[in-house]
Amino acid sequence: MSNSISLVALRLFVRVAATESFATAARQQGLPASSVSRHIAALEKALGQRLLYRHTRAVRLTEVGERYYQQVREILDTLDIATEQAAGEATHPQGLLRINAPVAFGRRHIAPQLANFQRAYPNIETELTLSDAFIDPVQEGVDVVVRVGALNDSSLVARRLANQHFVVCASPEYLEHWGVPATPDALSEHNCLIYKGTRGKQPWYFRDSGARKYRIREVRGNLRSNNAESLLEAALQGQGIVLFPTWLIHEELSVGRLVPILSAWEASGEPAPQGIHAIFPENRLRSSKVAAFLETLQGAIGEPPYWDA
């Protein structure tokens, strides 16, 4: 009987289905796992159908569970938006806003804005998590995810917050000691600190001012890392030359602890320009909390972004 179904049960089901785990669903909702178990059981009993296969190690949706999950997720989202609107939150947004961002970008450009944001919207509680691994907002139950660089898919909506510019630079001490390279080719004579992530060594791209295509320039050096801030640290200590997006080093550039070089060329860490995006499930598009946050953030960053101005 559809009358014996409870909203919490549906919410929990969606969380369990998204995370494929009773335990993390329980944690996300701040309930004991036992409650989750029982709610799901009650839901299954009400439907007379098994929604999830419980393997010891993993939880998998059954066929009907899969269909039901998709439908219920959509329904709950719609309900939440409708409720939010009715609650007048469209004019005075309130509630919990969960944000996820990359560590470096989040610390530099999200966290500092949060105070402003909270002041403008005192009824919004924010929860900022920083992580560099890609986060699926629907799986994690997060409202907005900020990502730098390429977007893979999907059923998610992205909004460009800013464009990304790279500069080649080094500390004054380094340049004084080793000289300033005059052309990209000259970099082969220098110690270049290279980012090496999951996609291998990040090549350095250059193009003449005004040219359309970037060309790869081979560079070498004695330090590679998958952690940008370590490379930055090394560069500050005069160990070598780095290629970084401006949002990461605008502070160091402005106080002169790093000096841009090769300014006659445009450099990049990507074969094509990449932006900084906010990503969220399609349904969150109309959430006033998300809208308010993005509006504030976009406004604070500006166009061009303040770190490039």
Partner DNA sequence: AAATCGAGTTGCTCATATTGCAATTCACTT
Partner DNA sequence: AAGTGAATTGCAATATGAGCAACTCGATTT
- How far apart are the C-alpha atoms of 105 and 239, rounded to whole Å? 23
- Of 28 and 100, nearer to DNA (C-beta) is 28
Burial class (CB in 10 A: 0-12, 13-18, 19+), 255: exposed
For residue 233, CA distances in Å to 148, 149, 171, 175, 222 come to: 21, 22, 10, 16, 14
Give 179: exposed, middle or buried? Use CB within 10 Å, 0-12, 13-18, 19+. exposed
Binding residue for DNA, selected from 18, 40, 176, 291, defined by CB under 7 A: 40
Q: Which of 37, 62, 202, 230 binds DNA (CB under 7 A)?
A: 37
Of residues 38 and 92, the one with the C-beta less far from DNA? 38
How much of the chain is helix, strand and coil, in % rounded to 5?
45, 25, 30
Residues within window 55-74 making contact with DNA, judged by CB under 7 A:
55-57, 59
Q: Is residue 80 within the footprint of its own copies (CB under 8 A)?
A: yes
# residues near its own copies by CB under 8 A: 32
**Which of residues 13, 18, 22, 187 is near DNA by CB under 7 A?**
22
Judged by beta carbon distances under 5 to 8 A according to partner kind, the member of its own copies, DNA, none in contact with residue 177 is: none
Contact positions with its own copies (CB under 8 A) in 27-56:
46-49, 51
Among 11, 15, 39, 289, binds DNA (CB under 7 A): 39
Q: What are phi and psi of 185, to 5 degrees?
A: -60, -35
- Pick between residue 21 and residue 246 the one whose CB is nearest to DNA: 21
Choice between 10 and 169, CB closer to its own copies: 10
Q: From the CB of residue 41, how many other CB atoms can be counted at a distance below 10 Å?
A: 12
